[in-house]
Structure 1
Amino acid sequence: MVFENQLPHLPDFGRTPIQTAIPMLTNTIDDLYPQEGNPPQGWSFGGFLTLKPAATGRGNHKLWWAGLANLYWWCDRERGVAGLIGSQILPFWDEKVLHQWHTCEKAVYDGLEKS
């Protein structure tokens, strides 16, 4: 059930802006995982589900989540890969750390394509 969408009736829930309550702890988040064409998104008991392939190479039904100190992870059971970007940077949703997360994830998938 960790990889199953528990909120199929809310396919755009992650696109609901999250306004910061304490700016020194978190930035405002407009979209948790922007994707071209705004495909449906999902939520499982373990975190956010990317239901459609992403620009990084991530495929269907990949699980990810994040922590306050800009900690981001993802798990792709089909491809047999997972990754973690960890920092101790505030506020949350730091653009530079987000960029590193996506760059790292893309490098992992690009490496899989070459092997």
Structure 2
Amino acid sequence: MKFGILVNEGPYNHQASDSAYRFAKAAIDKGHEIFRVFFYYDGVLNATAHSEPPSDDRNVIKNWQKLAADHKVDLVVCVAAGLRRGIVEASLAPGFRISGLGQLIEAGIQADRMITFGD
């Protein structure tokens, strides 16, 4: 099965990002495909290169980066939501890219199921 994932919450203020990551990892481990992860609203904060969590805390951004690198998962950040929150191309962590809502629509069309995490 091919999944699209929508993440609407930031990495440290809500469990949605962790849940989305764990879902994606579990789906891949079971042989499914993740077509795209689209970060929207505060979810765009998952893509910042400027996050420095303490060494004893989880690093949600690095988890997403590793998933993308290991499994060729497309990590897309909404340009409008990003700009509202100071996320621009220069501030993106490696492995993420900025694009528009058309990428979310395409994920909904191409995926067998679209799963949303966060409000």
- The reply to whether TM is greater than 0.5 is no
TM-score range normalised by the length of the shorter chain: under 0.3
Structure with greater contact order relative to length (CA < 8 Å, sep ≥ 6) = 2
Instruction: Name the structure where helix makes up a greater proportion of residues.
Output: 2
The structure whose Rg is larger is 1
The alignment's TM-score, normalised by the length of structure 1, stands at: 0.25
The alignment's TM-score, normalised by the length of structure 2, stands at: 0.25
